[in-house]
Each structure stands twice: as structure tokens, then as C-alpha cells.
Amino acid sequence: MELALVPQMRPQQSLGVSPALIASVQLLELGTVDLTETVQRELEENPALVLAERPSCRVCGLPLDHGQGCPRCGGGERVRESSLTTDPLAADPLATVAERTSDAQRLLAELRLALPAGEHSIAEILVASLDERGYLTAAPHTIAGWLSVDPARVESVLVELCATGPAGIAAHDLRKCLLLQLDRCEGAHELARAVVSEHLHALAAGRYGAVARALGVEREEILRVRDFIRGTLRPTPGFAGADGAALRPAPPPDVIVDERPEGLRVRLTEPERFALRVCPLYARLSEEGTASERRHASHHTTRAREFATRLEQRWDTMLRVMRLAVERQAEWVLRGEGPRRPLTRMEIARELSLHQSTVSRATRERRMQLPGGRVVATAELFVSGDEGREALRTLLAQEPRALTDAELVEALAARGHRLARRTVAKYRAQLGQARHTLR
């Protein structure tokens, strides 16, 4: 008997992870800052990919509708406008490479339009005295001495500078920067102004009870002021100084929830900020150029379309997840505070037929602006079924004075929640509350 090995081919199916899927997953889990850097790097490396610029708020970078103010910071009255072509094939492929002016140059140009010619030299010195944060590094009377002019003239130009530039510009410290931003906010914010003026350090240290007693208000009001300051005001005005050093402004929220008559509307800001398209010149060359031009253009246009497709997949997943999560937490989203219903990422994944890790990636390091203007982490939409933690949250919001952890244990036990002292301390820290001596 003779044995022989005879190779045979049999069709067989197996699951595999494609490079395209890996690239899509990696893009989905990027935070706002990392995504911005990734898009910028792709724009620099691929000449077939261009960014269709849109009007944006110079203060926070959020896209604007023509003639409308910024929905995030109330600014936008002085916006860098970009011309949008209706026919992409007629667009100049070199238009996106136009020279960009710095924040300092734009601010100085606007000041020259608003001031008499005799005050232009004062405006130039003031703008040159702004550091990379937008803070004023020289006192007005010092600048008046440099120019041998009346200090009142410098003060007058400084007032115009503060009104022309982004909110908070030309402040000499953090407190003044926040107060200047409050001047731009609509509505009365007298309590916020009092907190910033007199108790900013105590607020930063988490001594909310002490601030409330000093101002004669309830602790809940101080917590609302804290949330307003965190969500609306910024430590710097978002300005690149006269030396041209770029200052990365606080990124706009990833998700904006608006209250409409028909219900809550959820939208993403990324599709508006990253409106990518294939360069018309490369699109034509891939079809009409010589053989070498077609190979070169086809390679880059294919890469551009693949990157744009992965972005669309990211946005589709994020939007599906956020719409469902907001719908489940609609009452909390409308109020911006109070208890939330138990909701886990597993539930969202199961209903949308997604993997739990996909939901986690779609919500990781994302920020959401609620209808009231407060900006929160999207992670706050998800709450485990831990009733003890939620009971502690309610108790901390209602405590007449700062309670010790031992007193919190007793109060929770009276409400039917028996927790160990160290568990209460852990939950308190997770809720962002300091110990009683600092509240």
C-alpha cells in the first residue's frame, strides 16, 4: 500500500478584522483635541483633501450661522467670514492655502477702524502688551508714561479693546478676566459676579458652604453658580498673543442639545467644524489627466474619500448613541440637575445592536451642552443602579450645613440606605464633593 498526500482546496468562511475596521475604531475613540490633530495631519499629508471653511466664533471656535451669535459663548458679532462656493468644481484649489492673519493682527485692524487715527499708536502698544493668554502685561499708566500721553486716553482705548476683542481680553488676572466675560453674558449674574469678585479662591477650594454663608444664600445657589462658571466662562479669552504663538482655545462641546417644540434635538458640532471634501483639481486629474497624473490623483482622492467615510461612520455612531441616551435621560437633560434614571452603556449597545466597547468609545471624553447652556461630560448620562450613590447625591445637595462622613452615614441609614463610612467617602469623592471642612 502506498500513501500519498494530495492537496485539496475547500472554501471556508472566517471572521477577520480588516485594516479599514481597525482605522474606523481608532478614529471613533479619539477625543476632540486628538481628532483635531488627526484631521490637521491628514490635511497636511493629503493634497486631495481640503477643508471647506465656515464662519466660526473667534472666541470658542463653534460654527456659526450667518448673522447669528455664538450659541455657546454669546459672541460671534466679529467673526472671520469665509467665502463658500456653491459649485465645488468651480472652486479655486489654492483658496484654502490663503495666508491667515494672527489674532493680534485682526484685533489691531478692528481697533484701527473703531478709533481715531491719533489713537492708533496707543492701540498698537496695548495689543503688543498682550501675552499669549490675552492678558495685559503692562498697566495703563505705565503705557501712558511710555508714550507721554494722558492716562485717560490709554484707558479709553483699553475700553474699546475690551469691547472689540474676545470676552476677557486685556485682563490683568483671572478674576478680572472672568468679570469681563460676565459683562458679555446675557441676563443678570449678580451672584456669579459677587462670587468671582470676593470668593473665587474659596470656590476653587470647594468651600461652597462657606461661600454661601458669607453671601447669605443657599448652598444650592452657589453650586449653580459653580456650574455656570465651569460651563460658560473660561480662564483665558482664547487669544494668540502679539508674538503669534498659537493658543489652543477650549474645544467646543461635541454634542449640543436644544429644546424644540417637538422635543429635544441632538446635534454634533464635528460635522460642521470638519467639513472635508475632495479637491476639485485632483478630482479632475483622476479622470482627465495623463497616466501618471491619474495614478497620483487617484491614490490621493481614494485616501481622501476613505478618511471622509470613516469620519461619517464616527458621526453616525456618536449621533445614534447620544440620541438614545438623551431620550432616556430627557427629564434630567432639561433640568440639568437632580436624579437620573439608571442607564448603562450595555443597555444602549443592546438596543442599537452595537458592542458595548463601541458605545464606550463613542462617549469617551465627549462633552455635551444642555439646553440651559451648561456643559457636562456625556458620561453623566450613564448611571448605574446604585441607589445609595444617588441618595448621597440628593443628601449632599440638600444638607443644611457641611456634614461629616459619619453624619452622612447616619442620615443615609435613616433613609434606608446602610453604607459603610469608607463607601460614603468613596461615593462623595466620585460625586466631586470635598470633605466637610472644605465644603
DSSP per residue over 130-161, as a string?
A: B-TTS-B-S-HHHHHHHHT--HHHHHHHHHHH
Query: Please, what's the b/e burial string for 259-281 (b: 16 or more CB within 10 A of its CB; e: otherwise)?
Result: eeeeebebebbbbebbebbbbbb
* Of residues 244 and 135, more confidently modeled: 135
pLDDT at 396: 84
The rounded mean pLDDT for the chain is 79
Q: What is the pLDDT of residues 371-400, one digit of tens each?
A: 877 778 888 888 765 667 778 888 888 887
Q: What is the pLDDT of residues 397-436, one digit of tens each?
A: 888 788 888 888 888 888 767 777 888 887 887 777 777 7
pLDDT at 213: 92
pLDDT at 322: 94
pLDDT at 232: 85
Distance of alpha carbon 251 from alpha carbon 228, whole angstroms: 17
Full-model pTM: 0.49
Out of 75-89, 110-124, 157-171, 254-268, pick the least confident.
75-89
pLDDT at 239 over 90: no
pLDDT range class, residue 76, cuts 50, 70, 90: very low
- Lay out the sheet containing 367-369: strands in order across: 263-268, 255-260, 367-369, 375-377
Strands (E), 39-162: 49-51
Extents of the domains making up the chain: 103-232, 387-438
Given a contact cutoff of 8 angstroms between Cβ atoms, the answer to whether 289 and 334 are in contact is no
Given a contact cutoff of 8 angstroms between Cβ atoms, the answer to whether 232 and 185 are in contact is yes
* Of residues 234 and 54, more confidently modeled: 234
Q: Which long-range contacts (CB under 8 A, 24 or more apart) does 37-46 make?
A: 39/274, 39/276, 39/311, 42/307, 43/276, 46/300, 46/303, 46/304, 46/307
pLDDT at 58: 47
Helices (H), 167-273: 174-184, 190-198, 200-204, 208-215, 219-232, 270-273
Gyration radius of the chain over CA positions: 27
Out of 80-89, 173-182, 244-253, 255-264, pick the least confident.
80-89
* Of residues 305 and 394, more confidently modeled: 305
pLDDT at 298 over 80: yes
pLDDT range class, residue 85, cuts 50, 70, 90: very low
Q: Which of 1.10.640, 1.20.120, 1.10.760, 1.10.10 would CATH assign to domain 387-438?
A: 1.10.10
> Partners of 136 in the beta sheet?
130
Residue with cell 470656590: 203
What percent of the chain is modeled with pLDDT above 70?
80
Residue with cell 470638519: 274
DSSP type of residue 197? H
pLDDT at 251: 61
Distance of alpha carbon 172 from alpha carbon 192, whole angstroms: 19
pLDDT at 321 over 70: yes
Query: Please, what's the b/e burial string for 68-88 (b: 16 or more CB within 10 A of its CB; e: otherwise)?
Result: eebbbbbbbeebeeeeeeeee
pLDDT at 161 over 50: yes
